[in-house]
Structure formats: C-alpha cells, structure tokens
C-alpha cells in the first residue's frame, strides 16, 4: 500500500488539497485509489498560524519511492509552496508516508515516515483508508488513531466527509 498525507493552511485549503491530488495524477503513472475525509487540525510546532486541513490518500503507481517523492515535491512547488521556516504555514504539504512496507533511510526520504506514530493529524485520516496497516510499534493505524480520536480539546476534528471521484477527479 502506498500512502501520502496532505495538508494546507493557507488560501482556499480544500481547493489546494484537491488541486494537489489532481496534479499528482495529471503527470501520469499514478492513480489516486482512495482518499480520507478532510480534518481540521491545530498546527504543530509553530502555533502562530491558521489551522490546517489534512487528509490522506492511497495511490497506485509503479514509480519507485524516490521518483514519487520528487513528484510530490514538484507538485508542491507548482502549487506555490515556498519553504521559509520549519513547521511554518504552507499552501500545500505532501508527505510520502508508506510505500508497500519498504524501509528506507536516506537524507531525503525515510519510510515509513518517522512521525506517523506521533501525529493525530496523520493517523486519523489514515484510519479512514488503512485502519489495519501495521505500524513500526507493532500496533495498527486504528489502534494508534484511537489514542487521538477522543482527545479533549480536539486536536483533530472532522471537517468534511469526502470521496474521490475517479471520473471527475474531485471531491464529491
């Protein structure tokens, strides 16, 4: 299973997420198989910024992991992402989270993504599309997401139920 996480907290956040998925597919060699719902989340690290919309998506592709990472970075740049400060606001963020169980440790890519276990804004959307995925700690996405789902105050809130329409390439 190939999984990505997406987030946006600048501009028309939902539109940015949708555009990112469209651009990933338009470049060819990749199909969005499924998407999570959209979740509104508080920022992590630098708290002086707007809330994020986050989601996850599963992909079908024959692109190798580094080529897929390059595609994600190219889409970010195409949509106007400028990296100015760590954990700062961003128009779009696309993270490669999981690639068919591969373990990769390179300066530019670590798989599975090393922060999955600590981020409710990743685990809760992943729970929509891959609840039984085993994680590095031996627990499943569903088990780990459960630690974040009922937090008070809610760090991750359902914002909108969506599904990816493969014909129209948009949220319906």
* Catalytic member of 93, 119, 128, 157: 93
Nearest of 4, 6, 62, 3 to residue 30 by alpha carbon: 62
pLDDT of residue 172: 67
The question of whether 85 is a catalytic residue gets the answer no
Residue 46 known to be catalytic: no
Q: Which of 42, 51, 95, 139 is catalytic?
A: 95
Query: Strand pairing of 30-35 and 170-171?
Result: unpaired
Question: Would the pLDDT of 167 be above 60?
Answer: no
pLDDT digits (tens, 9 = 90+) for 86-130: 767 888 999 999 999 999 999 999 999 989 999 999 999 999 999
CA atoms within 13 A on the CB side of 54: 26
93 counts as catalytic:
yes
CA distances from 106 to 66, 109, 110, 111, 112 (A): 10, 5, 6, 9, 12
pLDDT for 171 equals 75
Query: Among 71, 90, 119, 128, which one carries the catalytic annotation?
Result: 90
Please compute the mean of the pLDDT values over residues 168-172 and round it to a whole number.
Answer: 68
Catalytic residue at 51? no
> Choosing from 19, 23, 81, 119, which is the catalytic residue?
81
Confidence of residue 44 (pLDDT cuts 50, 70, 90): confident
Per-residue pLDDT, averaged over 23-42, amounts to 93
């Amino acid at each position: 299973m190939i999984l990505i996480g997406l987030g946006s907290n600048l501009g028309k956040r939902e539109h940015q997420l949708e555009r990112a998925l469209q651009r990933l597919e338009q470049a060819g060699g990749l199909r969005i198989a499924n998407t999570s719902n959209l979740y509104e989340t508080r920022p992590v690290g630098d708290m002086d910024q707007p809330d994020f919309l986050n989601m996850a998506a599963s992909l079908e592709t024959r692109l190798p992991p580094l080529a897929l990472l390059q595609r994600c970075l190219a889409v970010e740049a195409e949509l106007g992402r400028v990296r100015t400060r760590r954990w700062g606001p961003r128009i779009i963020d696309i993270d490669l989270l999981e690639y068919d169980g591969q373990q990769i440790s390179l300066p530019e890519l670590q798989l599975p993504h090393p922060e999955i276990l600590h981020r409710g804004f990743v685990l809760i959307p992943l729970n929509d599309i891959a609840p039984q995925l085993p994680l590095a700690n031996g627990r499943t996405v569903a088990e780990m997401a459960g630690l974040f789902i009922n937090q008070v105050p809610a760090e991750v809130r359902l914002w909108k139920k969506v599904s990816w329409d493969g014909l129209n390439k948009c949220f319906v």
